[in-house]
């Protein structure tokens, strides 16, 4: 029987200390390409393991709960002899990283939580609506497919505009490649999104409880223009983790890996240094 984690690994680069890159909802391993390009420097660079989570892109397993994601990714690290690793989680992937640290602490040496789901107030009324039967499915479909169709035009419009409003719009919009991904596998992405939205609502209290169990070096990265996980939520998350570094990126929205890869790369490298620093 094929292990459930086997199709999740999309790329592996470098030969140093292991770093697992976990994308958000929706998303794919390609979300991390700008960071990989910055951090990967050959044999002396971290060993980067980039995944497509269950239900996305090239993964062959179906959608999984947040706890299921955490279990599969922990198993992947063990199977690849890459544990313990610094786990870098974006948005929904940040919640998965927290569960990994709490429930499989032997596989996590550090955390970098990027615009991450963490405390219970990250889940708002609209999140609960998207998790409802029928209406949530319809809203999710309308949102995903409408954005997929309009995204190229919206990004083109943003490039023709100037000023802070245009910059904020560009920082808020996802990449155009999501439109192409929806054209290829839209129904699958929609089903995964719906399943994960229900998991988010059902498991957010477990994620919040996991925050207090974190004992590894941690960085929390946020953008001042993030409207999905606002900076105040990231600051509150950082305050709950002893010794956590809060990294605030000016003029960056919900996608620091795309819009500030060098700054995010530095946060990953500093966390690796803290992990490798001998205890006093």
pLDDT of residue 27: 93
Q: Is residue 266 part of a domain?
A: yes
Q: Is residue 172 part of a domain?
A: no
pLDDT of residue 10: 96
pLDDT digits (tens, 9 = 90+) for 140-167: 887 777 766 666 666 666 676 677 877 8
pLDDT of residue 41: 66
pLDDT of residue 128: 87
pLDDT of residue 85: 98
* DSSP, residue by residue, 143-191: HHHHHHHHHHHHHHHHHH--SHHHHHHHHHSPPTHHHHHHHHHHHHHHH
Residue 250 structure tokens: 């000016």
What predicted TM-score, i.e. pTM, was given to this entire model?
A: 0.92
Sequence-distant (≥ 6) Cβ neighbours of residue 80 within 8 angstroms: 9, 12, 49
Cβ atoms of 9 and 61 within 8 Å: the answer is no
**Could you tell me what percent of the chain has a pLDDT over 90?**
69
Q: How many CA atoms lie within 13 A of 98 on its CB side?
A: 31
The closest alpha carbon to 110, from 279, 272, 246, belongs to 272
pLDDT digits (tens, 9 = 90+) for 190-244: 899 999 999 999 999 999 999 999 999 999 999 999 999 999 999 999 999 999 9
Q: Is residue 156 part of a domain?
A: no
Q: How far apart are the first and last CA of the chain?
A: 46
Q: Is residue 1 part of a domain?
A: no
Q: Is residue 55 part of a domain?
A: yes
Q: Is residue 239 part of a domain?
A: yes
Q: Around Cβ 115, how many Cβ atoms within 10 Å? A: 29
Q: If residue 271 lies in a helix (H) or strand (E), which one and from where to where?
A: helix 261-276
pLDDT digits (tens, 9 = 90+) for 35-66: 999 998 666 689 999 999 999 999 999 999 99
Domain harbouring 40, CATH code: 3.40.50.1820
- In order of 38, 94, 216, 221, the CA distances from 204 in angstroms are 32, 12, 21, 19
Q: CA-based angle 40:178:123, to the nearest 5?
A: 90
Q: What mean pLDDT is reported for the chain? A: 90
pLDDT digits (tens, 9 = 90+) for 244-270: 999 999 999 999 999 999 999 999 999
Q: If residue 19 lies in a helix (H) or strand (E), which one and from where to where?
A: strand 18-22
Q: Around Cβ 88, how many Cβ atoms within 10 Å? A: 31
How many domains, in total, are found in the chain?
Answer: 1
Q: Is residue 233 part of a domain?
A: yes
Average pLDDT estimate for 102-116? 98
* Full domain range(s) for residue 260: 9-121+205-276
Q: CA-based angle 115:116:117, to the nearest 5?
A: 135
Q: Is residue 197 part of a domain?
A: no
Task: Compute the distance between CA of residue 238 and CA of residue 214 in angstroms, rounded to an integer.
Answer: 11
Q: Around Cβ 3, how many Cβ atoms within 10 Å? A: 12
Residue 103 structure tokens: 């429930």
Average pLDDT estimate for 169-192? 79
């Amino acid at each position: 029987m094929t292990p459930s984690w086997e199709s999740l690994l999309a790329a592996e680069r470098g030969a140093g200390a292991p770093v697992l890159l976990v994308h958000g909802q929706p998303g794919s391993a390609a979300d991390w390409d700008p960071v990989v390009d910055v951090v990967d420097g050959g044999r002396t660079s971290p060993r980067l393991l980039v995944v497509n989570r269950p239900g996305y892109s090239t993964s062959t397993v179906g959608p999984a709960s947040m706890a299921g994601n955490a279990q599969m990714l922990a198993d992947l690290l063990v199977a690849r002899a890459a544990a313990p690793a610094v786990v870098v989680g974006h948005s929904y992937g940040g919640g998965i990283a927290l569960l990994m640290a709490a429930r499989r602490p032997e596989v996590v040496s550090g955390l970098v939580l990027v615009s991450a789901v963490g405390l219970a107030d990250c889940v708002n009324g609209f999140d609960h609506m998207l998790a409802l039967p029928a209406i949530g499915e319809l809203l999710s479909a309308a949102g995903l497919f409408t954005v997929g169709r309009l995204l190229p035009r919206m990004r083109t419009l943003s490039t023709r505009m100037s000023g802070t409003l245009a910059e904020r719009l560009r920082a808020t919009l996802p990449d155009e490649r999501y439109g192409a991904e929806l054209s290829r596998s839209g129904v699958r992405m929609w089903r995964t999104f719906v399943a994960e939205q229900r998991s988010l609502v059902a498991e957010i209290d477990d994620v919040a409880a996991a925050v207090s169990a974190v004992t590894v070096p941690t960085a929390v990265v946020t953008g001042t223009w993030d409207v999905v996980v606002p900076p105040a939520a990231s600051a509150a998350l950082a305050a709950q983790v002893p010794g956590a570094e809060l990294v605030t990126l000016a003029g960056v929205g919900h996608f620091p890996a795309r819009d500030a890869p060098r700054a995010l790369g530095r946060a990953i490298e500093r966390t690796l240094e803290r992990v490798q620093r001998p205890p006093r």
